[in-house]
């Protein structure tokens, strides 16, 4: 009984008292209970794709948001994993549970190779070099059409699971676990990993980080590998869900989309890209079904992006959380905006104006 | 064959260098990563297409009008969007990508997705060492060279050029010396967009005009700017010429070269950057060491 109270107390203090975490909890509960309410293939398909893209965008955030290594060619990891999984599946008839990790590990290897220039280049230069890798690879794909399928890509890949709901749950569970790992990995306050603090330090001031005795090279490569791994998992899931690996997974615009979603949601938070994807992707898909949406949807999305960034340049989640949460000036504990006094130290949070 | 490679490389290199110089100018002075740069180039090409084929306005007027309209669009988008969120560099980049996407979709809506051609400004061709070179190509080469020379004169010989270079070197000091930094940013944006417009006017009759024509030059321009070294106008031109020639050599000599030309140009850029991280003509600043 006392154990129950202990856990309940932790739950209440750690999650229920912080608005952002309550929202996150509700979000995951909703995500897992969707198939209980609707089994409409159209909705399940949209949600599965959205989840895959959310994982992809979040992995960009680990590398570029937290570590500050601007990667403009994130589609490289996604595309490499997608093609590896597709080739293993069609040529060697490997099952999805084997091809997806294989694809992810290939993406890690590629991520480390791509990370090598990162040791020498910074900022815009690094962004430009990483931008080119997927384009070079896409050029090579077109030159060897009999092996890679060329313009049409590779089709006839096994399904993730025999039922739609099964695929949905596989994708959501993998997504939830990956997001949790990424969140812990980049959390600066984490008591288990010290990577979060180190990555923040590298972004803020690399020279100071080195002077403090941190091997920035090693941590940058670690960030490249981590980011590549999760983007690779997203790529593998995508390929086994849509059952086609097309050159569009290496497209320039696909790389930009990861950045677009992340900046829209809020950079340097793991939840930001997830929120961005879960707003923008279903919206685009829903507009595609309306009469006018077929032609106008990208105009609407572009206008939405421009207006959002104009008024909330740090992203939508940062803006919303800023309204919902108040940090206590004395003990730095996060409080709901409705409280007048801090829940931990009773300090007055804001002075009432007469 | 040799002559074809030479002329095509020079055309591509000239156009890329005009675009790259404009891109590098606004990045060097205002630190704005304007991904919509080649979208302005596309807008001019479409305006010329519309003016000459639909409205049948006389050519010189159509050219001038299109470039002026593009510049006005550029200044408006700078004032309304980019200027307000200058501090957030990635947000600027994403807004300009969204802007380019908006241009692409609006043009798709109006003109449809198929490829179109603009009738040549100057007809006819001449024989140089046994290969046919159309006057239109020569016109493009000469115009690009004149534009670059004009820009060089503007930047190095005039008061405005001095002010622009001062702002790009040290914004705060320039402000203290009585230069209106905000106005210089706007002037540079106008110059940069009109350069993109000029490039669009030059290529409109040579390349095919379509709402997706901004994507391919964008990567090459970014590569050229980095290859030459950021902030160096001469470097941009050199980088653009190298990439333009690579593209034409690969397209003409290698089987399946049309697919590979982009990949080869980009690989050259990666190799150069690995050997010389600051680009061919870039300057290493003290705080960028490490």
Q: What is the pTM of this model?
A: 0.87
For residue B232, being part of any structural domain is answered with no
For residue B162, being part of any structural domain is answered with yes
**pLDDT band (50, 70, 90) for residue A172:** very high
Mean model confidence pLDDT for chain B: 85
Asked if residue B37 lies in contact with residue B192, where contact means CB atoms within 8 angstroms, the answer is yes
Nearest by CB to B91, from A136, A206, A309: name it. A309
Give me A58's structure tokens: 């979040």
**Which residues of chain A have a Cβ shorter than 8 Å from any chain B Cβ?**
70, 117, 120-122, 124-125, 128-129, 131-133, 135-136, 138-140, 142-143, 206-207, 210, 252-253, 256, 259-260, 263-264, 267, 295-296, 298-299, 301-303, 305-306, 309-310, 313-314
**pLDDT band (50, 70, 90) for residue B39:** very high
- Structural domain including B24 reads 2-123+130-210
ipTM given for this complex: 0.81
For the stretch A337-343, contacts whose Cβ atoms lie closer than 8 Å and that sit 24 or more positions apart, written own/partner, are A337/A19, A343/A17
Domain count, chain B: 1
The pLDDT of residue A72 is 87
| C-alpha triplet A110, A113, A119: angle, nearest 5° | 140
- Of A219-233, A303-317, B244-258, which one has max mean pLDDT? A219-233
The pLDDT of residue B287 is 45
End-to-end, the C-alpha distance of chain B in Å comes to 46
**pLDDT over threshold 50, residue A15:** yes
**pLDDT band (50, 70, 90) for residue A353:** low
- Rounded to an integer, what is the distance from CA B121 to the centroid of its chain? 21
The pLDDT of residue B288 is 44
- Whole-angstrom Cα distance, residue B253 to residue B271? 21
For the stretch B126-135, contacts whose Cβ atoms lie closer than 8 Å and that sit 24 or more positions apart, written own/partner, are B128/B3, B128/B7, B129/B2, B129/B3, B130/B3, B131/B1, B131/B3, B131/B4, B133/B3, B133/B7
For residue B284, being part of any structural domain is answered with no
A242 min Cα distance to partner chain B (Å):
26
Judge whether B262 is closer than 8 Å to chain A, CB to CB.
yes
The percent of residues above 70 in pLDDT, for chain B, comes to 95
For residue B202, being part of any structural domain is answered with yes
Average pLDDT over residues A179-206: 85
- CB contact (8 A) between residue B98 and residue A306: yes
**pLDDT over threshold 60, residue A136:** yes
The tens digit of pLDDT for each residue in A63-80 reads 888 888 888 889 999 999
For residue B221, being part of any structural domain is answered with no
Average pLDDT over residues B52-59: 84
Which has the closest alpha carbon to B141: B4, B13, B2? B13
Give me A35's structure tokens: 């198939």
Asked if residue A347 lies in contact with residue A328, where contact means CB atoms within 8 angstroms, the answer is yes
- Whole-angstrom Cα distance, residue B226 to residue B233? 11
**pLDDT over threshold 70, residue B286:** no
For residue B290, being part of any structural domain is answered with no
- Strands of A278-319 (E only): list them: none
- Kindly give the pairing relationship between strand A334-336 and strand A325-327: antiparallel
- Whole-angstrom Cα distance, residue A319 to residue A25? 19
Ranges A34-43, B68-77, B110-119, B199-208: which has the least confidence: B110-119
**pLDDT over threshold 50, residue B184:** yes
Nearest by CB to A305, from B94, B215, B269: name it. B94
- Contacting residues of B for A247, CB less than 8 Å apart: none
**pLDDT band (50, 70, 90) for residue B75:** very high
Give me A82's structure tokens: 């997608």
Residue with the larger pLDDT of the pair B122 and B171: B171
**pLDDT band (50, 70, 90) for residue A176:** very high
**pLDDT over threshold 60, residue B170:** yes
For residue B269, being part of any structural domain is answered with no
- CB contact (8 A) between residue B90 and residue A129: no
Average pLDDT over residues B124-150: 83
For residue B143, being part of any structural domain is answered with yes
Average pLDDT over residues B115-134: 76
The pLDDT of residue A106 is 93
| Beta bridge mates, A154 | A245
């Amino acid at each position: 009984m006392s154990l129950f109270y202990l856990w309940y107390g932790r739950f209440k203090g750690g999650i229920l008292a912080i608005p952002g975490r309550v929202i996150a909890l509700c979000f995951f509960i909703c995500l897992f209970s969707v198939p209980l309410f609707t089994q409409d293939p159209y909705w399940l398909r949209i949600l599965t794709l959205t989840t895959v893209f959310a994982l992809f965008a979040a992995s960009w955030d680990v590398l570029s948001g937290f570590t500050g290594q601007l990667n403009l060619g994130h589609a490289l990891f996604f595309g490499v994993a997608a093609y590896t999984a597709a080739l293993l599946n069609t040529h060697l008839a490997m099952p999805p549970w084997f091809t997806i990790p294989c694809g992810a590990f290939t993406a890690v290897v590629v991520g480390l190779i791509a990370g090598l220039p990162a040791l020498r280049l910074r900022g815009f230069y690094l962004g430009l070099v990483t931008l080119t890798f997927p384009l070079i690879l896409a050029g090579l794909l077109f030159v060897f059409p009999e092996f890679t399928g060329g313009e049409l890509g590779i089709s006839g890949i096994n399904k993730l699971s025999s039922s739609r709901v099964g695929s949905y749950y596989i994708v959501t569970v993998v997504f939830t676990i990956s997001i949790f790992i990424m969140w812990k990995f980049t959390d600066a306050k984490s008591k288990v990993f010290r990577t979060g603090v180190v990555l923040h330090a590298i972004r803020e001031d690399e020279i100071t980080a080195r002077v403090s005795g941190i091997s920035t090279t090693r941590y940058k490569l670690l960030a490249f590998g981590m980011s590549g791994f999760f983007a690779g998992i997203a790529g593998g899931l995508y390929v086994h869900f849509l059952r086609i690996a097309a050159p569009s997974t290496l497209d320039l615009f696909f790389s930009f989309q990861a950045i677009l979603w992340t900046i829209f949601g809020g950079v340097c938070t793991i939840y930001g890209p997830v929120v961005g994807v879960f707003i923008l992707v279903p919206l685009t898909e829903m507009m595609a079904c309306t009469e006018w949406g077929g032609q106008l949807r990208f105009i609407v999305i572009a206008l939405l992006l421009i207006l959002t960034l104009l008024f909330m340049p740090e992203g939508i989640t940062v803006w919303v959380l800023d309204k919902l949460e108040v940090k206590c000036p004395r003990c730095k504990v996060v409080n709901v905006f409705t409280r007048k006094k801090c829940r931990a130290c009773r300090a007055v949070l804001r002075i009432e104006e007469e | 064959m040799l002559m074809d490679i030479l002329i095509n490389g020079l055309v591509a290199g000239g156009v890329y260098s005009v675009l790259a110089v404009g891109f590098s100018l606004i990045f060097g002075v205002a630190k704005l990563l304007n991904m919509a740069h080649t979208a302005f180039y596309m807008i001019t090409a479409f305006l010329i297409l519309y003016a000459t084929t639909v409205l049948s306005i006389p050519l010189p007027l159509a050219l001038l009008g299109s470039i002026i309209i593009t510049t006005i669009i550029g200044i408006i988008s700078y004032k309304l969007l980019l200027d307000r969120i200058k501090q957030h560099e990635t947000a600027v980049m994403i807004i300009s990508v969204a802007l380019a996407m908006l241009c692409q979709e609006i043009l798709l809506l109006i003109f449809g997705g198929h490829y179109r051609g603009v009738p040549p400004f100057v007809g006819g061709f001449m024989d140089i060492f046994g290969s046919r070179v159309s006057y239109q190509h020569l016109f493009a080469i000469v115009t690009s060279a004149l534009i670059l020379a004009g820009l060089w004169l503007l930047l190095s010989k005039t008061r405005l050029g001095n002010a622009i270079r001062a702002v790009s070197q040290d914004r705060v000091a320039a402000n203290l010396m009585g230069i209106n930094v905000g106005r210089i940013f706007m002037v540079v944006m106008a110059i940069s967009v009109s350069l993109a417009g000029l490039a669009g006017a030059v290529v409109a009759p040579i390349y095919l005009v379509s709402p997706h024509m901004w994507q391919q030059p964008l990567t090459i321009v970014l590569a050229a700017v980095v290859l030459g070294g950021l902030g160096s106008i001469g470097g941009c031109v050199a980088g653009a010429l190298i990439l333009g020639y690579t593209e034409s050599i690969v397209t003409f000599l290698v089987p399946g070269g049309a697919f590979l030309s982009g990949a080869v140009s980009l690989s050259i850029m990666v190799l150069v950057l690995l050997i010389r991280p600051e680009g061919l003509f870039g300057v290493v600043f003290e705080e960028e060491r490490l």
